[in-house]
């Protein structure tokens, strides 16, 4: 069977099929509209607002104190022999979180809370289990997860080799012994982060949109727009603007396609985790969201058009490989 026919059959299953056992998991619990409204509000408060609060809090680099609070201030004469003093003390808050692991804990601390809140929302509001937003049969299919993770890691390695062949002077080896020390903590923290995002966007939000619309376009687009919007606060957006947001949106749509095809989020988790681990521990690049992590190779400059096009090719190859294995 040709690759074109495989892709065509995969897409037809998404856009033509209305019955999906994964989406039908919502029928195992309470599905009133107000329950979803309340659930989305509660989870998004943690998933979206808490990261903003953390970023705003730790972007403050200086604090002013009056002379009543500090004694060693330089007096300044203002008029007629009267003096006043005002001290500005620079406080580098992030210096207390100088190691890569502590920075990961700081900026990703909301994700365990997201998982906990999802569990509470499903249990107390919808009266169903967390497993109903994982797969069609309520189990975690480890084989699907490993296929997604392994395929993505292999493809990213091959594309790194291709990029090195084309731009050999754009890469440098930066590996240090401390990489081994950070390996396990980084894997654990990024696994929690990825799991939380996939449970929320490809699990809870996707099922919510599917329940109320049964329109596969909305099922693909709505979670992906939300996914792209929260990543708009990443450093990549400051450097590449709308291209970064569009890339995140395309990734969101792709992961939604995989979720609908496989009727579960295990492959999406594997894909997402492999991407984040590769970007944090194998290859790092300027203005990456996790640029502070120790990596093996550093990319000096990002050619955004080339990177975007090759990544789209990677997504197509991933879909072909995984879907052929499923058949």
Range of the domain at 179: 3-74+84-326
- Euclidean distance between CA atoms 242 and 248, whole angstroms: 10
Output the pLDDT for position 85: 45
- Euclidean distance between CA atoms 253 and 230, whole angstroms: 15
Output the pLDDT for position 182: 85
Output the pLDDT for position 254: 96
Output the pLDDT for position 88: 46
Output the pLDDT for position 128: 96
Q: How far is CA 326 from CA 6, 54, 57, 322, in A?
A: 11, 41, 46, 6
Is residue 79 included in any domain, yes or no? Answer: no
Each residue's pLDDT, cut to its tens digit, for the chain (327 residues) gives: 555 555 555 555 555 456 789 999 999 999 898 999 999 988 887 766 666 666 566 555 434 444 444 444 444 444 444 444 444 444 444 455 556 666 666 667 788 889 999 999 999 999 999 999 999 999 999 999 999 999 999 999 999 999 999 999 999 998 887 888 888 988 998 999 999 999 999 999 999 999 999 888 999 999 999 999 888 777 776 777 788 888 899 999 999 999 999 999 999 999 999 999 999 899 988 877 777 778 899 999 888 888 888 999 999 999 999 987 665
Query: For the whole model, what pTM was predicted?
Result: 0.81
CB of 229 closer than 8 Å to CB of 205 = no
Is residue 203 included in any domain, yes or no? Answer: yes
Is residue 200 included in any domain, yes or no? Answer: yes
122 phi and psi angles, rounded to 5 deg: -70, -40
Is residue 167 included in any domain, yes or no? Answer: yes
Output the pLDDT for position 2: 57
> How many domains are contained in the chain?
1
Output the pLDDT for position 65: 41
Is residue 168 included in any domain, yes or no? Answer: yes
CB of 148 closer than 8 Å to CB of 266 = yes
- The end-to-end CA distance of the chain, in Å, is 11
- Euclidean distance between CA atoms 219 and 14, whole angstroms: 10
84 phi and psi angles, rounded to 5 deg: -140, 165
Is residue 283 included in any domain, yes or no? Answer: yes
């Amino acid at each position: 069977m040709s690759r074109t026919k495989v892709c065509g059959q995969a897409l037809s299953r998404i856009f033509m099929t209305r019955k999906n056992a994964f989406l039908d998991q919502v029928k195992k619990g309470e599905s009133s509209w107000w329950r979803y409204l309340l659930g989305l509000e509660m989870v998004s408060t943690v998933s979206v607002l808490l990261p903003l609060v953390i970023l705003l809090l730790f972007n403050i680099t200086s604090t002013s104190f009056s002379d009543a609070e500090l004694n060693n201030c330089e007096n300044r004469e203002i008029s007629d022999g009267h003096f006043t003093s005002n001290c500005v003390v620079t406080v580098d808050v992030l210096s207390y979180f100088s190691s890569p692991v502590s920075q990961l804990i700081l900026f990703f601390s909301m994700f365990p809370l997201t998982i906990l809140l999802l569990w509470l929302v499903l249990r107390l509001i919808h009266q169903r289990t967390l497993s109903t937003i994982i797969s069609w049969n309520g189990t975690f299919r480890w084989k699907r997860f490993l296929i997604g993770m392994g395929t993505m890691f292999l493809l990213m390695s091959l594309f790194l080799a291709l990029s090195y062949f084309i731009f050999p002077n754009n890469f440098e080896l930066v590996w240090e012994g401390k990489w081994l020390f950070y390996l396990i903590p980084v894997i654990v923290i990024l696994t929690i982060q990825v799991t939380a995002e996939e449970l929320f966007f490809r699990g809870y939000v996707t099922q919510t949109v599917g329940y109320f619309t049964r329109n596969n376009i909305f099922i693909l687009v709505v979670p992906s727009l939300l996914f792209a919007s929260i990543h708009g606060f990443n450093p990549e957006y400051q450097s590449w603007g709308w291209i970064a947001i569009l890339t995140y949106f395309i990734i969101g749509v792709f992961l939604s396609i995989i979720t609908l095809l496989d009727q579960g989020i295990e492959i999406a988790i594997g894909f997402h985790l492999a991407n984040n681990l590769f970007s944090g521990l194998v290859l790092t690049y300027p203005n990456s969201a996790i640029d502070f992590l120790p990596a093996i190779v550093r990319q000096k400059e990002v050619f955004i058009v080339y990177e975007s096009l090759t990544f789209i090719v990677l997504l197509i190859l991933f879909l072909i490989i995984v879907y052929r294995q499923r058949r």
